[in-house]
Structure 1
């Protein structure tokens, strides 16, 4: 049996770390949960971006010509994650909208609020069998205040800037403001004309950017590659880039060392997290990040 990349921390150790962070006020806490899943904690509030915490895709594609062979350990059972105020799904692909992750998560967090692209409402409701009014829909240029967070909709190109017949984005990223912090989660996206101009005014502190690239032979929609992620972070003036969308499936990954090399070349501050690892930071009176 193939050995999985070990999590930095998982299961009860990870859950204990989440609770420990409650005793450290004034800090932004970020955990990478694998693939594109990030958990933010600010002043006791928790927002979970695009979690995928099951093996549903590995099972679905096990006997096909595109097996989704897992590379890294799962960090936690989603039904064990409590105290979650907000969850996002940036688009309809299963590693960003997974019923086997979301349904146990929602059951464990009965007051959770769920943000999606408005264009995807019918699909989301069908996949999750949820109340049609439960998801909170956003389009690009729209903003919602929710559980102490301000969330802005940002277009994403995966691979195109695809919209429904009403002109609403099917693929999105999110800019989240939490106290003095501004965090950008790209969702899945390529670099498109206008992306820098949309993001730069937000003065992003931390950007979560994919690095697995866009290779047609994979037969899946692509993303920024390592060089593009480092360069985009620099162009938008982000103070820190944390890469994502690698080391989950063997056929669709990238070596994060390539991103580190490019980030150094662009003099882009960065941090590569291991599954389940936490980054914590604070801002001083002039907005400098200490990490």
Structure 2
């Protein structure tokens, strides 16, 4: 049964209004760090936090973008109006500043990870899009000539040489209540001797354990926000759990994401990073960034 958009908007507005009463209300801010892309060339490997789970990876000439969300508001789009969460930290770079993208990785179809307004401006015929099970139908409107849907543990080597393995995570994938068959992934990436782990969105799970046993993982991206109230931990890890998963994976460097961009839960917006630092203790130097716009170069 097709439910009218007006009904969806009304239901969404009611649920959002109830949730919003207890949410933090941070002031809007612009990142204090402006990435300088002019220093990057084909000899560099660099990852830059744009915001939330959106990371720009320059990788020996390849340009990769994870879960791209650049919109001011996420949610149900009704023409020019969007009903949903408003961004409180601006993207560190605009789509125009980033330019053409070679590969887009989509962990799942939730609106804070899979944003049609952003994808419409990013995907070209030459963009390779890797997405989770059941999500290809959401991408049919776009001109990409190569859209690849991976199930957990599937592996693929793209034409440009990037190896992608889908990692099972603990989350959920429905975009709307009737989307029963949409999945969710993390991704293990390898290209020219460098490996990275993008965990996507996940609660605590042991599926990352030992991923670096055979080959090193140079950089791991883990979510650290949206864990309060406690019931949210069925789908989102706490900062302490994120650190545990990072250590279990055996990766060398921790790149925190999924915090201080959209208010999705009850914890104070700056708390996740403080708790992560406390969990890391004497190993906190393995945490490579803190603020939007910051980069790590390998």
TM-score per shorter chain, which class? 0.7 to 0.9
Whole-Å separation in 2 of the counterparts to 1:270 and 1:60? 36
**1:182 aligned residue (174, 187, 195):** 195
For the pair 1:21 / 2:40, whether they are aligned, the reply is yes
**1:232-280 C-alpha deviation (Å, 9 max, x unpaired):** 1112211011111000123434521211111125667112232122211
Q: Which residue of 1 aligns with 2:10?
A: none
Moved more, 1-10 or 255-264: 1-10
Q: How far 1:2 sits from its partner (Å)?
A: 6.6
Q: How far 1:81 sits from its partner (Å)?
A: 2.4
Q: Which residue of 1 aligns with 2:223?
A: 210
| RMSD after superposition | 3.3
Equivalent residue runs for 1:149-228 within 5 Å: 149-159=162-172, 170-197=183-210, 200-216=213-229, 222-228=235-241
**Structure 1 gaps, min length 5:** 161-167, 282-291
**1:117-164 C-alpha deviation (Å, 9 max, x unpaired):** 133222443xxx23697421111222122223111111121159xxxx
**1:55 aligned residue (72, 83, 90):** 72
> Structure 1-normalised TM-score?
0.77
Whole-Å separation in 2 of the counterparts to 1:219 and 1:63? 24
**1:264 aligned residue (245, 266, 281):** 281
Whole-Å separation in 2 of the counterparts to 1:63 and 1:124? 19
Q: How many residues align?
A: 262
Conservation of the 8 A alpha-carbon contact between 1:50 and 1:89: yes
Q: Which residue of 1 aligns with 2:59?
A: 42
> Structure 2-normalised TM-score?
0.76
Conservation of the 8 A alpha-carbon contact between 2:129 and 2:144: no
> SS at 2:276's partner residue?
helix
Conservation of the 8 A alpha-carbon contact between 1:209 and 1:244: yes
Whole-Å separation in 1 of the counterparts to 2:237 and 2:151? 22
For the pair 1:115 / 2:127, whether they are aligned, the reply is no
Equivalent residue runs for 1:227-266 within 5 Å: 227-252=240-265, 253-255=269-271, 256-264=273-281
Q: How far 1:210 sits from its partner (Å)?
A: 0.6
**1:53-84 C-alpha deviation (Å, 9 max, x unpaired):** 112317869997xx624221222332442242
